Amino acid sequence: MSQLIPVFALAGFVIFFGILLVLVAALFGPKPKASKMKSMSYECGLVGEGQETTKVPVKFYLTAILFILFDIEIIFMYPWAIAYSDFIEAGQGLYIFGAMAVFLAIFIFGLFWEIRSRALEWE
């Protein structure tokens, strides 16, 4: 437990500093002035037409989330592949390989579910 004290101290400092920055910005930062011209969307110097906000299809968000998810999977696999020989030398190679196999099985199942549910089809 004493090894986690620096981790908790750093987490507490980060949370405190984040809250402090938000409060200082709210107290001393510029106050927005609401006007009709400021709230209109900017269209290359022309007077705005139509809606002020556009609705983005959910498919864009789904594609972005899936990209991030599988990108993080690759980020976890790279250091594992680099350190795997050290685990083999320590006698833990089979355990570490099994853990990565479970990790990959979950993501491969997710990939097949994604394909089967047609999550990335745009039509």
Quick: pLDDT tens for 16-44: 999 999 999 999 988 877 777 666 666 67
First to last CA, the chain: 54
Domains of the chain: 2-116 (1.20.58)
* Contact yes or no for 83/99 (Cβ under 8 A): no
Quick: pLDDT tens for 51-67: 666 677 778 888 888 88
CA distance 79 to 67: 19
Quick: pLDDT tens for 64-84: 888 898 888 889 888 888 999
For the full predicted model, state whether its pTM sits above 0.85.
Answer: no
Q: Would you state the pLDDT for residue 55?
A: 75
CA distance 12 to 15: 5
